Chain A
């Protein structure tokens, strides 16, 4: 939802004006003001945990001066405090000017004037604290299925982030993001085997208000979550061997995230992340020609999906955001990189320079990375499998520093034999190599099977940053994959 700039709240604008009035002498500056509130509620084993609320306000000052680029973050939003931060940013820029990796004038200049608001139908405040705790208590109670259930939890959280980005070139980008997230978890233990199942919207966070609780279905999902935790303890181990693999959207989220999203990040390709998050098996020469996957593979960077976790109108460098294809018909088209990285790499990218908060600088991040649907139904894909496993909901993730050799585990598996779903299996896992795995893609669900999900803990960067990332995907079928179960 993007509209022309109208009004940001008065206070951030007043702060921005105070800063502009005393801005340092420099070639270009930006001020990014972040004001956020959050609330978290948890009921565990029928006991409410201490409820928590929080606020956080701060500013990131970025300057380009004398050929250098520097930043400083401060929670002191007085004119004096911001001026002091600007002074520190100028000092940092002097270091960059002396020993910088690139010409600071590559830093993009923004004059965009945009406003964005998350779509909210039912504001968080419309439900009382007592009612929220009551809902969680009821959901928690419904997971009580006897002594085999050893822990139950239900949670509900809200976060509201107001951000104003202004620049010396006249940019004024006011964005308000609102998120409501909920979830359930039940852990069962039977004869030495412990299994946890989640639900109630646990891996479906998104932007919006309390209306999101309707699809989360905390109360209706509670019995299923606890029942499946028990059933998993009693299920046989997932078989080992090469077989077909049908991944539901609850696992495709992670598969797309780790072996498409991260490898396409341009700052990895440029080497910035090599000391921590790693590099990529993708190299600049691959864009435009490399066959990433089968012709069924179509992946987009799409910050325009209403309600998806990482929808926005402009990134934190001030670049307006739009939908672009990353992979089309299996061929790699473009990386995930903001304007600065694009200029360094001389490649076209996407508006995805993002910071997790006011106290971190923007770096290349995923936003909404979506695997586009095809036309097949889930039942049709199952019918095409002679021997395989369906896997549901990620629980373990590990991939090498080039984002190539991976191993993922899921909460729940179901055998597929001769075109039909048969028994439940526990501890299902699979491993593969990204650059081959996507070429074994042999089925992509239709639009009616698409689910919009996301992750709230994508970690990267030095200093470290954790951001929200959206992923939408239908179920997908892969052929001849190495599958395994648990045990010593």
Chain B
């Protein structure tokens, strides 16, 4: 949906507001091509064109929310939106005042459009399958335009649009032996894709060696940025939200109360200014440039959405109470030295299916997956059979964190459950003196 069309739809809609009604309208739209691959061939190819409209009607201290799909025809879309507004108006009389109603009363505008030089899907898939000839490649190509927008009867007008591609794939050697890569961004460069595929071919060479098996126990390990991303994704589930802290459900409760400290090497920041996710909230608040969550091992600030801000008398600093643009500050370990410093231990290329063993102890479990090797004398010597870890972040990012790499990797989310995601994370690798493997 185009910017003018959305604002025109909203203007017409707000003309019908009555009395002191306030209306917020959000738009989440995408036009995406998706191509699934298996065995370096196309499994499923198609496209999705969607535009979801969300309305929040406020009248005095009451509010109700609703959503509908827009098809792109101006008259039909207006009729849909008007029908939804009518339903909301009927409902609002039956709900009580909301003590935590909180929205921006200051009109604000913003516009950010990230254009991209996207290849035709057929060309991108052709290039990939040519480069990966002979490889058992499996993965997904997702590309196209994504829009997040907001308009309100107070005067908010925010538009955040981007075109991007996200190629996320892995190459299999046998059964669960595989290496994973991703290539995502805004400007397509076949040279970069060639480099990544060639790198995978080299990794597959080591993966072809006899599998190394180890017993459960504690091992030195280097966690690549992709592995650290999995730990951060789980920590995002209740770790940083103000509500989770105030209701004492955060797995970082002992850190927040000062009973425990993480490593002084660890600083975690929510970097809104990265600009890949929208810079505004559904309630019209503008996100700050950044929020320091953990600084040199001590807890600093929480992510606070509009509702929690009202409930706990805090300032809104996030659209939702989980990171969208997380960063871990770089360390001093040169990326090239990480394995040399590891010496003997495990190179964990990726982790998988993490979940909490005991939130009170910030203890989590998960599996090694993709590109995990046994390392001797700083060199990967053999692939490792998949292992389950069960350990606390108070150890892994606390007393057992030996160093973080100076180089960081920007990882764009490949998640598409609620449309193509705009989350990202900027992460180093982490060297730990020990990770507990349980199975």
A431 to B387, CA, bound (A): 12
Evaluate contact between B67 and A54: CB separation under 8 angstroms. Answer: yes
CB distance from A42 to the nearest CB of B (A): 12
B367 touches A93 (CB 8 A): no
Q: Which of B37, B46, B139, B359 contacts A71 (CB 8 A)?
A: B46
The reply to whether B138 and A70 contact each other, CB–CB distance below 8 Å, is: no
Return A317 CB to nearest CB of chain B, in Å: 13
Judged by a CB distance under 8 angstroms, whether B106 is at the interface is no
Q: Does B326 contact A (CB under 8 A)?
A: no
A128 to B90, CA, bound (A): 12
Q: Which of A96, A271, A398, A463 contacts B142 (CB 8 A)?
A: A463
What 0/1 readout, one digit per residue, does chain B (58-95) give for beta carbons within 8 Å of chain A? 00000111111111110010001000100110010011
Q: Is A275 an interface residue (CB 8 A)?
A: yes
Chain A, interface size category, equals: 35 or more
Q: Is the CB of A71 within 8 A of B45?
A: yes
Known: A95-B122, A402-B386, A464-B417. A72 touches B76 (CB 8 A): no
B344 at the interface (CB under 8 A from A): no
Q: Which of A76, A92, A272, A275 has the most CB of B within 10 A?
A: A275
Q: Which of A53-82 contact B (CB under 8 A)?
A: 53-58, 68-78, 81
Task: Please tell me which stretch of B2-10, B202-210, B245-253 contacts chain A, meaning at least 4 of its Cβ atoms lie within 8 angstroms of it.
Answer: B245-253
Binary contact track B347-363/A, C-beta < 8 Å → 1, others 0: 00000111111111101
Q: Contacting A53 at CB < 8 Å: which of B50, B66, B355?
A: B66
Given A400-B352, A463-B416, CB of A407 within 8 Å of CB of B73: no
A429 CB-CB contact with B under 8 Å: yes
Distance between Cα atoms of A271 and B394 in the complex (Å): 37
- Residues from chain B with Cβ under 8 Å of A56 in the complex: 52, 67-69
Partner of B369, one of A73, A96, A189, A401: A401
Interface-side segment among A44-52, A295-303, A412-420: A44-52
Contacting pair A275 B50 (CB below 8 A): no
Which residue of the partner chain, among B63, B69, B358, contacts A57 with CB atoms under 8 Å?
A: B69
> Of the candidates A275, A398, A401, A465, which one forms a contact with B168 in the assembled complex, judged by CB atoms under 8 Å apart?
A275
A73 and B46 contact, CB distance less than 8 A? yes
CB-based nearest B residue for A258: B353
Cβ contact of A95, chosen from B121, B176, B388, cutoff 8 A:
B121
B176 touches A74 (CB 8 A): no
Partner of A89, one of B46, B176, B438: B46
Residue B175 CB within 8 A of the other chain: yes
Residues of B within 8 A of A189 (CB): 247-248
Q: What are the interface flags for B311-325 relative to A under an 8 Å C-beta threshold, 1 for contact and 0 otherwise?
A: 000000000000000
**Cross-interface CB contact of A101 among B38, B355, B395, B416, cutoff 8 Å:** B38
B356-A409 in contact (CB<8A): yes
Question: How far, in whole Å, are A28 and B80 apart by their CA atoms in the complex?
Answer: 32
Contacts of A429 in B (CB 8 A): 357
A275 touches B360 (CB 8 A): no
Please indicate the chain B residues that have their CB under 8 angstroms from the CB of A288 in the complex. Answer: none
Which of chain A's residues have a CB closer than 8 A to the CB of B159? none
Chain B residue numbers with a CB within 8 Å of A395 are 356
Instruction: Flag whether B405 is at the interface (Cβ < 8 A).
Output: no
Whether the Cβ atoms of A194 and B46 lie closer than 8 Å is no
Complex contact A401–B367 (CB within 8 A)? yes
Residue of chain A at shortest CB distance from B34: A463
What is the minimal beta-carbon distance from A72 to any residue of chain B, in angstroms? 5
In-complex Cβ contact of A187 among B42, B95, B142, B247 (8 A): B247
Is B392 touching A488 in the complex (CB atoms < 8 A)? yes
Contacting pair A464 B415 (CB below 8 A):
yes
Tell whether A359 is near chain B: CB-to-CB under 8 Å.
yes
B390 at interface by CB-CB < 8 Å: yes
Q: Which residue of A lies closest to B137 (CB)?
A: A275
Contact B438 A407 (CB under 8 A): yes
Q: Which residue of B lies closest to A399 (CB)?
A: B353
Q: Which of B48, B172, B249, B353 has the most CB of A within 10 A?
A: B48
The answer to whether the Cβ of A427 comes within 8 Å of any Cβ in the partner chain is yes
Contact (A276, B140) CB under 8 Å given A407-B388, A427-B358: yes
- Any B CB within 8 A of the CB of A279: yes
Q: Which residue of B lies closest to A53 (CB)?
A: B66
Question: Chain A 144-159 against B: per-residue CB contact (8 Å), 1 yes, 0 no?
Answer: 0000001100000000
Q: With an 8 A cutoff between CB atoms, is B49 at the interface?
A: yes
Instruction: Name A488's closest neighbour in chain B (CB-CB).
Output: B361
Interface pair B388/A431, CB less than 8 Å apart? yes
B140's partner among A55, A192, A463 (CB-CB below 8 A) is A463
What distance in Å separates the Cβ of A290 from its nearest Cβ neighbour in chain B?
16
Q: How far is the CB of B269 from chain A (nearest CB, A)?
A: 26
Give the total number of A-B pairs whose CB atoms are below 8 A apart: 271
Q: Which residues of A contact B361 (CB under 8 A)?
A: 486-488
- Could you tell me the distance in whole angstroms from the C-beta of B108 to the nearest C-beta in chain A? 22
Whether the pair B417, A459 counts as a contact (CB closer than 8 A) is yes
Residue of A nearest to B90 (CB): A129
Q: What's the Cα separation between A272 and B172 when bound, in Å? A: 12
The reply to whether A71 and B367 contact each other, CB–CB distance below 8 Å, is no
Complex CA distance for A37 and B41, rounded to whole angstroms: 37
The complex places the Cα of A201 from the Cα of B51 at a distance, in Å, of 33
Whether B439 is near chain A, meaning CB under 8 Å from some CB there, is yes
Whether B249 contacts A151 by the Cβ 8 Å rule is: yes
- Asked whether, in the complex, the Cβ of B249 is within 8 Å of the Cβ of A398, the reply is no
Interface status of A405 (Cβ within 8 A of chain B)? yes
Interface centre among A71, A101, A270 (most CB of B within 10 A): A101
List residues of chain A with CB within 8 A of the CB of B172: 271, 274
Tell me if B125 counts as interface (CB < 8 A to partner A).
yes
**Residues in A whose Cβ lies below 8 Å from that of B142:** 463
| Docked complex: A372-415 residues within 8 A CB-CB of B | 395-402, 405, 407, 409
A57-B69, A405-B386, A407-B439 known; A275-B139 Cβ under 8 A: yes
* Contact, CB under 8 Å: B438 / A487: no
Task: Give per-residue flags for B283-311: 1 if the beta carbon is below 8 A from chain A beta carbons, else 0.
Answer: 00000000000000000000000000000
Please give, as numbers and ranges, the residues of chain B lying within 8 Å of A93 by CB-CB distance: 45
A400 touches B46 (CB 8 A): no
Q: Which residue of chain A has its CB nearest to the CB of B438?
A: A431
Query: Is the beta-carbon distance between A101 and B41 smaller than 8 angstroms?
Result: yes
Asked if A193 CB lies within 8 Å of chain B CBs, one says yes
Known: A275-B138, A275-B168, A488-B361. A75 touches B49 (CB 8 A): yes
Q: Nearest Cβ distance between residue B233 and chain A, in whole angstroms?
A: 13
Confirm or deny: A214 has a beta carbon within 8 angstroms of a beta carbon on chain B: no
Indicate if A336 sits at the interface (CB-CB under 8 A): no
Segment among B11-19, B96-104, B188-196, B221-229 that sits at the interface with chain A: B96-104
- B197-239 toward A: CB 8 Å interface, digit per residue (1/0)? 0000000000000000000000000000000000000000000
Q: Is B403 engaged at the interface, CB distance under 8 Å to the other chain?
A: no
Query: CA of A77 to CA of B359 in the docked complex: distance in angstroms?
Result: 47
Give the CA-CA distance A70 to B67 in the complex, in Å. Answer: 29
Candidates A53, A272, A398; contact of B353 at CB < 8 Å: A398
Q: Say yes or no for B254: interface residue by CB 8 A criterion.
A: yes
- Complex Cα distance, B125 from A68, in Å, reads 15
Cβ–Cβ contact B249 & A194, under 8 A: yes
Query: A76 contacts which chain B residues (CB < 8 A)?
Result: 49, 71-73
Query: Is the CB–CB distance between A275 and B126 below 8 Å?
Result: no
B39 at the interface (CB under 8 A from A): yes
Residues of B within 8 Å of A196, CB to CB, are 249
Q: Contact: B38 with A271, CB < 8 Å?
A: yes
Q: Which of B50, B67, B180, B365 touches A359 (beta carbons < 8 Å)? A: B50
B91–A51 touching, CB < 8 Å: yes
Assess whether B36 is interfacial by the CB under 8 Å rule.
yes
Other 9 A-B pairs with CB < 8 A, given A53-B91, A96-B42, A400-B369: A47-B100, A72-B49, A99-B129, A193-B360, A194-B360, A272-B43, A363-B44, A431-B438, A466-B417
Q: Which 7 A-B pairs have the closest CB atoms?
A: A486-B358, A71-B46, A76-B71, A462-B140, A463-B416, A101-B41, A92-B45
Sample (27) of A-B pairs whose CB atoms are under 8 Å apart: A47-B98, A52-B66, A53-B64, A56-B68, A57-B69, A57-B71, A71-B44, A73-B47, A73-B48, A74-B50, A76-B73, A78-B73, A78-B76, A81-B71, A98-B122, A101-B38, A129-B95, A271-B38, A271-B138, A275-B180, A359-B50, A398-B353, A405-B367, A407-B388, A462-B36, A464-B417, A486-B363
